[in-house]
Structure 1
């Protein structure tokens, strides 16, 4: 009987531990403005649809895109954080994002990400052009990228 009781307590404490970790991850996602990024992504996708066919009714687009929401995205992302980070790391990340440096990073992250992606694309294209050129010099028939 004591063993069963101990196992029950252990199971309950594990569930509570996991829930608190999940809530901490959710808090981090809220802190970094994930919901705003989801809305931005949604707006961009809607723009692409409207541009490709302006005759699609806005109501239909809004209805179809209603599935692109915070809860659906959080479910995916929380599982990734939970799998890859322990609770101590989650606590440290949350503390960091509440500091002035963390707040500045959150504020500037969209610009940093955009500029980084642009720089990475240019860099990647330059490297690929050099590699393709070198392969052609060596007699290989590769397509331009």
Structure 2
């Protein structure tokens, strides 16, 4: 076997082992099209509205309209450009084309329109579960004598500097879970 054939064989083995790593990276235009059919610009607007409402609450001395410009057209372009490399890193050109095809389908468009409400409901369920789970675990620790009635390690009552105090879990109604 000549050195050339050996090198060619090794190169082919390496190429086969690398597999998807050699697949074509999606172009910026492909990623932009995917982001468009996924309604990423609409998600930016929703993010902007939530952020503006939050900032208006925290800083009532600043006009609410000021925060509405946080993700303006320039900001959307900057954010889009910053996100493109992540898509290029995790997806091949063929995968992006498949995603574009899916998101253009009626099921893909339903996913786009229903996902914000679905995620909000799921987050609310997760928060409720977390409050109940925390309450149950605190009750278990209190029953075992590892926490007192205030959710503190025994012997640390009134000594907030120890760092041992745990906040009492909140019930969905806002009171303690006990």
TM-score normalised to the size of structure 2?
0.60
Give 1:118's aligned residue: 124
Summarize deviations over 1:110-135 as a string: whole Å, max 9, x none: 11111111111112222222222223
| Cα RMSD, aligned residues only | 2.4
Question: What displacement does 1:69 show?
Answer: 2.2
Q: State how far apart, in whole Å, the 1-side matches of 2:66 and 2:117 are.
A: 32
- Contact between 2:102 and 2:108, CA under 8 Å: does it hold in 1? yes
User: 1:96 aligned to 2:96?
Assistant: no
1:29 aligns with 2:35: yes
Match of 1:72 in 2: 78
- Residues 32 and 97 in structure 1, CA contact (< 8 A), matched pair in contact too: yes
Q: Secondary structure at the match of 1:69?
A: helix
| Cα deviation digits, residues 21-58 of structure 1 (max 9, x gap) | 33222111111211111112112222222223333245
Contact 1:46 1:61 survives alignment (8 Å) = yes
- Residue range with higher mean Cα deviation, 52-61 or 126-135: 52-61
Which structure is higher in RCO with an 8 Å CA cutoff and minimum separation 6? 1
CA distance 1:139–1:46, shift in 2 (3 Å): same
- The structure with the largest alpha-carbon Rg is 2
Q: What residue in structure 2 maps to residue 105 of structure 1?
A: 111
Structure 2: state its 5+ residue gaps.
1-23, 152-165, 170-178
Q: Return closer, same or farther for 1:139/1:76 CA change in 2, 3 Å cut-off.
A: farther
User: TM-score scaled to structure 1, two decimals?
Assistant: 0.72
Cα distance in structure 1, aligned partners of 2:65 and 2:104: 39
Instruction: Identify unmatched segments of 5+ residues in structure 1.
Output: 1-16
C-alpha separation between the residues in 2 aligned to 1:77 and 1:140?
A: 47
Counterpart for residue 47 of structure 1: 53
User: Which structure has more helix as a fraction of its residues?
Assistant: 1
Alignment coverage as a number of residue pairs: 127
